[in-house]
Structure formats: C-alpha cells, structure tokens
C-alpha cells in the first residue's frame, strides 16, 4: 500500500469521482494498490486484466487490425484500450496499461521495460510511453503502477 494510493482515494472521494483500470503487464497490481485502501469501494469502479490479445479484442473492443499492425504493446493499442474502457466503465477516470514486463519477450523495437500508460478524464486523453531500465519483472510492474498513480494524481 502506497501513500500515493491513499492520497488518490482521498481525493477521488472528496471530488466524488470514480476510476477504472484496464491492465495488461501489471496483472491487476494497479487495482490492488487502490483496493488495498479502506473506503476505495466508493471510488473504484472496475479493474480488467486484459492480459491476452484475445481479451483486449473481446472485452475492450481493441480492433484486431490495430494489434496486428502495431502490436499489443503500442500507443495505438493503449489508446484503443483507454477509449473503450472509458465507454464500458462510465468512470470519470480511466487508465490503461500495456507493456513488456520481461524478463523475456522483449525485442529491439519493443524492449523489456517498454510500457504505455493511458489516462482518460472527460475529453482529455494522455498516453505516456515509458522505458523502465530494470530487467526485473516485479520492478517494472511496480514502476508502472507508481507512474500510473502519479498520472492520476496530476489530474486530480
């Protein structure tokens, strides 16, 4: 449980806002960081772990063509995930995460540590490309969650 999570839950509660997440490489770690806070049920709407491409297509309506053309770890896939999560969840704030947590699976074009984090609040959409230097899976996952929490905090 981080202080960022606590601060976010307090601010969301105060502002009567809700949040939803669509996570891939973090496997629910972001949702867990928020739901570990007492009172989060007032602000946390849903968390989807769309780990497989099939889940991204079926649940988040990411076009198969997008994944085929740009890959699951791409700006375009992250954008599609966030737009559709926002529609599905009806939350005030939606976050999507897709990346390569490693230690295997990286390529020259998409190295281990490459993670896209999308945030949508109202008409404002931000997609942030991150390249975490660690080769450790849990370190990349935690760094991604930390970055996502900072992004949420910045728009509250």
- In the chain, how long is the greatest CA-to-CA distance? 44
- Give the CA distances from residue 15 to residues 1, 18, 29, 81, 156, in Å, rounded to whole numbers and listed in that order: 22, 9, 24, 25, 8
Give the 3-state secondary structure of residue 31.
helix
Give, for all 156 residues of the chain, the pLDDT tens digit. 479 999 999 999 999 999 999 999 999 999 999 999 999 999 999 999 999 999 999 999 999 999 999 999 999 999 999 999 999 999 999 999 999 999 998 999 999 999 999 999 999 999 999 999 998 999 999 999 999 999 999 999
Domain ranges of the chain: 3-155
Helices 3-15 + 137-155 axis angle, to 10: 30
- Give the CA distances from residue 39 to residues 84, 97, 151, in Å, rounded to whole numbers and listed in that order: 26, 24, 21
Confidence at residue 149, expressed as pLDDT on a 0 to 100 scale: 98
Alpha-carbon distance of 2 to 123, in angstroms, equals 28
Confidence at residue 18, expressed as pLDDT on a 0 to 100 scale: 98
Quote the pTM value. Answer: 0.96
Q: Is the Cβ–Cβ distance between 92 and 134 less than 8 Å?
A: no
Query: What six digits make up the tokens of 46?
Result: 């849903």
Confidence at residue 22, expressed as pLDDT on a 0 to 100 scale: 98
Q: Which CATH class is domain 3-155?
A: alpha beta
């Amino acid at each position: 449980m981080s202080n960022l999570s606590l601060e976010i839950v307090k601010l969301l509660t105060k502002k009567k806002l809700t949040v939803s997440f669509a996570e891939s490489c973090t496997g629910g770690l972001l949702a867990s960081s928020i739901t570990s806070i007492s009172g989060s049920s007032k602000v946390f709407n849903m968390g989807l772990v769309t780990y497989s491409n099939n889940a991204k297509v079926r649940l988040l309506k990411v076009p198969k063509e997008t994944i085929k053309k740009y890959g699951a770890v791409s700006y375009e896939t992250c954008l599609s995930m966030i737009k559709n999560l926002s529609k599905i969840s009806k939350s005030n704030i939606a976050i999507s995460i897709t990346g390569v947590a490693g230690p295997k699976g990286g390529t020259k074009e998409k190295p281990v540590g490459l993670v896209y984090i999308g945030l949508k609040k109202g008409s404002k959409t931000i997609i942030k490309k991150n390249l975490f230097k660690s080769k450790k899976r849990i370190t990349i996952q935690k760094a991604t969650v930390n970055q996502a929490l900072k992004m949420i905090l910045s728009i509250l």
